Amino acid sequence: MNITVVNTIVSYIATVKVGPNGQTYRLIIDTGSSTTWVGAAKSFLPTNPTTDEPFSLTYGSGTVSGLKSEEILSFSDQLTTKQPIGVASNAMGFDDVDGILGLGPVKLTVGSLEKRPTAEVPTVVDNLFTEKKINNKIVGVAFSPSNQTTSSNGLLTFGGVDNSRFQGPLQWIKRTDSQPASNYFGVNMTITAGKNTIMENSAGIVDTGTTLILISQEALQRYMALIPGSKLETGAASFISMPPSSVASVPVLEFDFGTFKATLNPEQQLLPASQARLFGVSPDKRYSFVNSVGGSFTGGLEFILGQKFLEHYYTAYDASTGAVGIAPHVTPSSAAQGGQAPKSQNPTPPELDPNPTSGASSKSTLSLGFNFTRIRGYSFTILAIGVLYHLL
């Protein structure tokens, strides 16, 4: 089942009806966390609150706490589910949205319930599958770039993928074995900038709730060394800036997943010059969507592929296996939207190599040091960290 979603430049938003009265809420689509909650910008009076089940979550972009409640979620007239959600009484860092639509693996719900910190809470995808509303625990995601502040150019497909939104066969990438990325939709990848390998066979995650393309500090330094005059801005928007004359030096980035290679050309890596004032940065410079994941890691979580990567590739997320599907995307202008998703040629991942090459080692503790950056009413909603329980 296809659901149209809205590109707000820094995040994708799904409009979901909640409760018996069908109040509408704007929720960030987040494959990097798994708890669905409401009540940030617009409050919600819970129908079936569980007063002895307080919940709390810490994200890279803020915090939220409140009570668990069983509510009806309606994505369309044809797609509804009864779902345990969080109803926020306190939310910081989410002024512009009403909450989160958590589409990550169920493991990420562990630690969300204060009195039962080891309990898993079924996700939206889990319950849709249990209720036989969908045949597979798969969500297909079609994002596209936009030069407007809001554009209804995205598509979620619950239960499979939409073949009209990608080219060629969907390639499935096995979940990484490296912690903590393996708690998420985590994969292994090598990044090449031009002819230079800047990050080799490292573990990270694919996350619709993160705006930018985040790589390790060492990889970012290697990337910047190839771009004359590039520097990290320290103002409200911490972009990597460069003089316009250096755009010609920006290397093509290749993301090698083993079974699939993705590329971003220079313009796909850069903030469009027409959007500079919207982000509160100087129109006299150019700015890269590539930035640092924070800290200096030896393995475990060295990159996050966020929205600005995903706007150029169709992706699918299998909650049963943790695998990520990827293929070149088709723009909305040439693809049908809405209604029942066409049956995929390969709706579920094939048998995957149980022993993928992995150069990234596990790491039991991380200090990610993300900053929540607000830009003229917008937010770089870096939500990939999810419940910090999994990083400690």
Point out the residues that are catalytic: 30, 207
Dist. CA 344–CA 347, nearest whole Å: 5
Dist. CA 3–CA 22, nearest whole Å: 17
- Spell out the SS3 assignment of 107-142: HHHCCCECCCCCCCCCCHHHHHHHCCCCCCCEEEEE
Radius of gyration of the chain (CA): 20
Would you put residue 106 in left (φ > 0), alpha (ψ -120 to 50) or beta? Answer: alpha
Strand blocks (E) in 123-212: 138-142, 151-158, 171-173, 186-193, 196-206
Closest C-alpha among 129, 64, 71 to residue 103: 129
Nearest 5°: phi and psi at 9?
80, -45
**Residue 169, number of CB atoms within 10 A of its CB:** 13
Closest C-alpha among 125, 134, 118, 74 to residue 104: 125
